[in-house]
With several copies, the nearest count.
Chain A
C-alpha cells in the first residue's frame, strides 16, 4: 500500500509531528495504553511502532488480563524437579529420563476456526507444532480438543466437518500421528466453537548432547535469519485497521487484506526437517517460531530475551506481496515461518542446510549491543523501542464478580429430574446416552486422522490416553490426554478445573503411565465481564491447587478470551492436558475387555452425583446443581495402583469412568474388546442411603452417577488375589462387579443388551448427522 512517493512515518517524522492523530483505538489499544506508549518512547509512536505495540499488547499476546492470575501456576521446587523449561518458554520441557526430554503444549485457534473452519483449524495445528519445534524438539504427535454448538445445528454442519478436515489435512500431511482429543457439543459454543490443538515433541537431553533451544538473541554481531514461507498479507489487522486513516492511502482504494491465513503443511514439514538438521549441526544460537503477531512478536521476544538489542532491515524480509508496508510486514501472520539467531561464522552452513531443504532464508538484521530494537525501511528508521516494553505489556487486575445466576443455577437440583426406575428404563437410558452425539462413537472424526505414521503409536483414540513409544530398545514412552467439562466448570469453575485435571490425569494413568506434567488452555468469555474474570480466577486457582495436590507442575499453556456470542460468554472451559511417562509401552493397558473370564472390578467410590452430568444434559438438557467432588487424593492413589498393576501384568484392561458413569464405561469396554460382561450391582450406590441395594433407584446411581476418581478394570485371570491385595494395601476401594465374556452387556436383574445392538446404537449418531 505504501507507494514509493508516500513519506514513511519514521522516528524523526514522529518526533516532529507529535499531534498527528493515530488510530490506536482501531488497533485495539485503550487511551491509557496509548499514553503509556507515548510515555515510554517520549514521543508519539510511528505507524510501525503503533502496529507493533498493538499486537504485542493485545490480549492474545500479552495475557494482560490473565497474567496476574496465572502467577499462581508457578510450580514449587518440589513440582519442578524434572522441569527443564517451564512457563515463559514457547513450551514447557520435562526430563523423562534415559537421556530423553519431552515438550508439549496446547493452544487455541477458536476464532479463526469459526471464520474459516478448514484453514482456521489447519493453521492452529501448524502454530502449535512450531512452538514445539522452537524448543529444539522433533514433534511426534498431535491431539485436538474440539467443542461445537448442538450437533444438529445448521452451523455445526458447516463448522465441524471443516475443522476436522483442516486438522486431518494439516496433521496428516505433516506426518504427525493424531493420538486423541475431545469432541463435545453444547449450545454455549454455537457461535464460538473451541478448537484447541496440542503437540508433543521429544528431544535429546543426555549430557553429551542437549537439543534444548532458547528464544533469545544474544551476541552482538550475530545474524537474525527469517526462513520458511514468504511474508504476505495474511491475517493483517482486519477491517478496523484498514479503515484507519494511517493505514489506507486513499479512501476506498485500500486493498482488502484478508484475515484468513492459509496453511501450507508441506512447507511446515520441510521446515521441521530443516530446523532439526540445523539444531543437530549446532548452527543456531536462538530460535523463535512466528505465530500470532509474526515478525513483530518474534523480533521483540528474541530481543527482549537477549542481552543486547537488535537491528532489522525490513526491506530484507522476503515478501509474497511487494505492496506491504512496514506495519503490515510486522503484523502479518503468514504461516510456516521461523526466526533464528546465527553466528556470522555459521551463516554459510545455515544457508546450506536451508538450500538442501529448499527453504528460503534471508538475513534480515543482526544482534546489537545498544539495548534497542531498531527497524529500518527504505533508509528511514521506522521502529526504535526498548524491546522489553513491548514484550512485557501491561498487567490488569480486572474487576471480578461472582455470577449473579450461580446460586439459582446451583439450586436447580438434578434430583428433581424424573429418573429411570425399571430395568427397561435404565436400558433405554444407556442406549440413549450411547446413541447421542456427545457419547457416541467418534470414528467419523478420528478415521480422518492418521494415528499410525512414525510407527510408534501404541494407543490412540478411542483409548483413554494416547501412548507413543519414545525408545524402541527400552520401551520408554509417553502418554497424553486432554480433558475439560464446561458444564462442571459453569456450575463451579474451581471444581471444574480440578475435575478436568483429575480426568486427564486418570486417563493418562489408565495406560499404565505415571502422570508427570500439565499443560492447559483456558477458554473463557470476555475479561471485561467481571463474572468471566471471576470464573477465570476460580479456575486458575483450582488448577493450581489441584496440581499442588498431585505434585505435578503446569509447564505452560494458553489463554483464549472473548469467547462469546453477542453478550453471552461460553461456559468457562479450562481444557487440561496431562503428560505421563510410561516405563515400558509393551506393558500398556487398554480399555477393552481383553480376556474371557477376567474379573471386572470397579475402583473408587460412587456417590449420588448428577450435577452437570451427561445424563442430565443428554436426557433433559438440564444444567444445575453442583458438579461431582474432585477427589485428587484418590486419583493419585489409583494412578499408582494401576501403574504397579500394569507393570506386574495384573491388568487385562483399564478404563476410566467419566461422562455417563459406570454404564457408559462398561459399554465402551465391551465394544472395544468385542466381548460382553456380566455384572451385578449388589450393594452399590451406597451413599444413596436407605433403600434396598437392589432397588432400581440405586441401580440408577450405580450406573449413571459421575463421581470422579473411579475406573473400571478387568484383572488378568489367575492374578485376582494379587490385585485385590494391591488395592487393599493402598487403601483403594475396589469392588468386584462380575466377569468379562459373552456377547451381551448383562447387568444382573436389571437389563441385558446384545453387543450388536450396543454397537449399532453407538456408531449411529455422527454418520447420521454428517454423512
Chain B
C-alpha cells in the first residue's frame, strides 16, 4: 500500500477568486505580510502495492485524465511516506 498526493493548482494566468477572497479576508484579519494567496485542490490517493514507478504512473494518468482540467489547471505529484 502506498500513498501518492496530487496537488492541482489553477494555471498562474487563470483568475482565482477563491484565493483572492482568502487574501482580502486575511488582510481584514490583520495579516498584513501576506501578499498573495492561490487556492488549489489536493488528492490523497491510496494505491495497492508499493510506491514504485507503476503506482506513480497510475497516479499521473488519473491526474491528467480526471483530477485536473488541463485547460485551466496544472498538477504535481508527491509521494507520501
Contact = CB atoms under 8 A, between A and B. Distances in A.
A touches B (Cβ under 8 A): yes
Interface of A: 115-116, 119, 229, 232-234, 255-258, 260-264, 266-267, 320-321, 334-335, 358
B15 interface: yes
Contacts of B76: none
B14 A262 contact: yes
Contacts of B20: 264
A115 B70 CA distance: 11
B72 A119 contact: yes
Interface centre among B11, B13, B15, B21 (most CB of A within 10 A): B15
Q: Which 10 A-B pairs have the closest CB atoms?
A: A264-B17, A262-B15, A116-B71, A233-B13, A258-B13, A260-B72, A232-B15, A260-B71, A258-B14, A262-B14
Contacts of A335: 15
Contacts of B24: 358
A258 B16 CA distance: 13
17 contacts: A116-B69, A116-B71, A229-B15, A232-B15, A234-B14, A234-B15, A255-B13, A256-B13, A258-B13, A261-B15, A262-B14, A264-B15, A264-B17, A264-B20, A267-B17, A334-B15, A358-B24
B68 to A, nearest CB: 13
B13 A262 contact: no
A115 B13 contact: no
A266 B21 contact: yes
A320 B16 CA distance: 11
Interface string B32-74: 0000000000000000000000000000000000000101100
A contact face: mostly helix, strand, loop, or mixed: loop
Contacts of A263: 17
B13 A321 contact: yes
Contact of B72 (A116, A233, A266): A116
Given A115-B71, A266-B21, A257 B13 contact: yes
B40 to A, nearest CB: 14
A262 B19 CA distance: 13
Contacts of A115: 71
Contacts of B69: 116
B42 to A, nearest CB: 18
B35 to A, nearest CB: 14
B16 A262 contact: yes
Contacts of A260: 14, 71-72
Nearest to B16: A262
Nearest to A323: B13
Contacts of A261: 15
Contacts of B11: 258
Nearest to B18: A264
Contacts of B16: 262
A260 B14 CA distance: 8
Contacts of A119: 72
Nearest to A115: B71
Given A116-B71, A256-B13, 18 more contacts: A115-B71, A116-B69, A229-B15, A232-B13, A234-B15, A258-B11, A258-B13, A260-B14, A261-B15, A262-B10, A262-B15, A262-B16, A262-B17, A266-B21, A320-B15, A321-B13, A335-B15, A358-B24
Nearest to B10: A262
A262 B21 CA distance: 14
Contacts of A262: 10, 14-17, 72
Contacts of B10: 262
Which one of B10, B13, B20, B71 has the greatest number of beta carbons of chain A within 10 Å? B13
B36 to A, nearest CB: 11
Nearest to A262: B15
B17 A258 contact: no
A706 B64 CA distance: 47
A232 B20 CA distance: 13
Nearest to B20: A264
Contacts of A266: 17, 21
A251 B69 CA distance: 27
A321 B10 CA distance: 15
B25 to A, nearest CB: 10
Contacts of A334: 15
A24 B11 CA distance: 29
Contacts of A234: 14-15
A255 B24 CA distance: 27
Contacts of A233: 13
Contacts of B13: 232-233, 255-258, 321
A174 B57 CA distance: 36
Which of B10, B17, B24 has most A Cβ within 10 Å? B17
A763 to B, nearest CB: 22
A485 B69 CA distance: 33
A566 to B, nearest CB: 21
A119 B11 CA distance: 15
A264 B17 CA distance: 6
A318 to B, nearest CB: 13
A730 B14 CA distance: 60
Contacts of A258: 11, 13-14, 72
A165 B71 CA distance: 17
A266 B72 CA distance: 20
A115 B72 CA distance: 10
Nearest to A320: B15
Contacts of A229: 15
Nearest to B69: A116
Contacts of A256: 13
A260 B10 CA distance: 12
A261 to B, nearest CB: 7
**Which among A257, A262, A266, A321 has the greatest number of chain B C-beta atoms within 10 A?**
A262
A456 B60 CA distance: 45
Nearest to B21: A266
Nearest to B71: A116
Contacts of B71: 115-116, 260
B64 to A, nearest CB: 15
A36 B13 CA distance: 35
A232 B19 CA distance: 15
A115 B71 CA distance: 8
B21 to A, nearest CB: 7
A257 B11 CA distance: 10
Contacts of A320: 15
Nearest to B17: A264
Nearest to A118: B69
B41 to A, nearest CB: 14
A361 B24 CA distance: 16
A260 B69 CA distance: 12
A238 B42 CA distance: 29
Contacts of B15: 229, 232, 234, 261-262, 264, 320, 334-335
